[in-house]
Structure 1
Amino acid sequence: MTKFVLIAALGAIASVSAAGPAAVNLGKAGTYAILSKSGISTVPTSAITGNIGVSPIASTAITGFSLKMDSTNRSATSTQVTGSVYAADYAAPTPEDLTVAIGDMEIAYTDAAGRTPPDHLNLGSGDLGGKTLGPGLYKFGSTVIIPTDCTISGLPTDTWIFQMSGDLTMAANKRVKLIGGALASNIVWQVAGYVEVGAGAHMEGILLVKTAAHFRTDSSLNGRILAQTAVTLQSSTVTQPYLGRFLAQTADILV
């Protein structure tokens, strides 16, 4: 019964026309929950589901994770990471693979930043608090703030790109909510400045960040952090997104 429900759910998704911009191709960067060029740190412990990696900087830039090398010296493990840890000074082919992933991250950033024309320009003067955001391309010539909860509404096939020339800041204990089947994997935040997610706040989507990403105490993300400088975590939870989660929920509802 479940098998047929999943097939029906897949068919229903495939038959719905997607709204929003063409998806951003993350390439090999899409195999990481966190990818950084300058380092990843956590104080105190965090919980990450997915791989993390740094390049071209060495593994000494991954701090607070108590890394344990595997027998091949190609990757490491951490009790805080459900996945593998990679760095540019590990054994081949890890350095080469990371070079490709970093290149793909930068290509994805350039792609997202260059999309035109926007469906929405400077919506709310950069204040997304209290808003419900349908699929589309959103462009902001400023910093974007999320001082109160906001909602992203759409189907599993819909896409969102948020372009901003400044920073992205989210107040403490606020949430980005998904409704209607919207998927974090289809939401891209292209940020020319830095990202700061306040203590206890929850974010959704793929963060393509030109500079740093800071996640304060007990903050969380369903998505990916792909940063061109440093990522700092404070007892944060980062979970890479999966399409399978929606299909499983759909199956539960229909059965």
Structure 2
Amino acid sequence: MNLKSAANFAILAGSTVTNTGPTKVQGHLGLSPGSAVTGFPSGVMVPPSSIHISNATVDQAKIDLTAAFKDAANRSGGTSIAGEIGGLTLIPGVYSASSSVKLTGTLTLNGNGCADAVWIFQIPTTLTTASRSKIVLINGAKAANVFWMVGSSATLGTYAIFKGDIMAAKSITVTTGVDVEGRVLAQNAAVTLDTDNIHMP
């Protein structure tokens, strides 16, 4: 997966970005075509991160995000996964759900000793993680190689530990106290944050 210029952004949104509390963001924040970014400060952009609102830089990033989303969606031959992925250990590959996906408890991604191992999750509707759920990476798995293609919206539950880049067609809500090693990339709607830690891998 190649995010191109979108890889420079920890957060992308289409309509608004709203933050509550001392969220920390490591990576650029971009919004287009919307214009309302609220809650920074008290949210903190870790230098050299910056905020881009409806400028050429974020517009190109949104174009590249759309291309990456389509690339992920069009990957064929995926292994079917059920609606609940908590408790699973998954090796590298493409995983396809028939509808919404929920993560309760722990999802383990096993790289089998390969530093280039890639996971692509194709979720046609919503992704929801439960409170205090977590994704664990073992045997060489890297958050930079985990991609979540979400056809609707994603919601990360309180104090969850999440790995990988979320590419959602609509909105992404990151509730209180979540740690995201990855990117929060919403194509068309809002990103909502609350006292979170968003850091690119």
Distance in 2 (CA, whole Å) between partners of 1:79 and 1:143 is 31
**In the alignment, structure 1 residue 81 sits paired with structure 2 residue 38:** no
Q: Secondary structure at the match of 1:98?
A: helix
Distance in 2 (CA, whole Å) between partners of 1:105 and 1:129 is 27
**In the alignment, structure 1 residue 158 sits paired with structure 2 residue 117:** yes
**In the alignment, structure 1 residue 226 sits paired with structure 2 residue 201:** no
% identical aligned pairs: 33
Structure-1 residue corresponding to 2:95: 138
Q: 2:105 is aligned with what amino acid?
A: T
Distance in 1 (CA, whole Å) between partners of 2:164 and 2:197 is 14
Structure-2 residue corresponding to 1:56: 33
Match runs of 1:1-255 below 5 Å: 24-58=1-35, 61-66=36-41, 80-82=44-46, 83-88=49-54, 95-118=55-78, 120-121=79-80, 123=81, 125-154=82-111, 155-228=114-187, 229-241=189-201
- The structural deviation recorded for 1:45 is 2.2
Structure 1 runs of 4+ aligned residues shifted over 6 Å read none
Distance in 2 (CA, whole Å) between partners of 1:39 and 1:181 is 36
Distance in 2 (CA, whole Å) between partners of 1:201 and 1:80 is 20
Structure richer in helix, relative to its length: 1
Distance in 1 (CA, whole Å) between partners of 2:105 and 2:38 is 32
Count of residues in correspondence between the two structures? 196
Structure richer in strand, relative to its length: 2
- The structural deviation recorded for 1:79 is 6.1
Q: Secondary structure at the match of 2:30?
A: strand
Distance in 2 (CA, whole Å) between partners of 1:237 and 1:156 is 25
The worse-fitting range, judged by mean Cα deviation, of 39-48 and 206-215 is 39-48
TM-score with structure 2 setting the length: 0.94
Q: Radius of gyration: which is bigger?
A: 1
Distance in 1 (CA, whole Å) between partners of 2:92 and 2:59 is 32
Q: Secondary structure at the match of 1:217?
A: coil
Distance in 2 (CA, whole Å) between partners of 1:197 and 1:44 is 16
Per-residue CA deviations over 1:204-238 (Å, capped at 9, x if unaligned) read: 00111011111111011000011111110111110
TM-score with structure 1 setting the length: 0.75
Superposition CA RMSD, Å: 1.1
> Any stretches of 5+ residues in structure 1 without a counterpart?
1-23, 67-77, 89-94, 242-255
Distance in 1 (CA, whole Å) between partners of 2:107 and 2:70 is 26
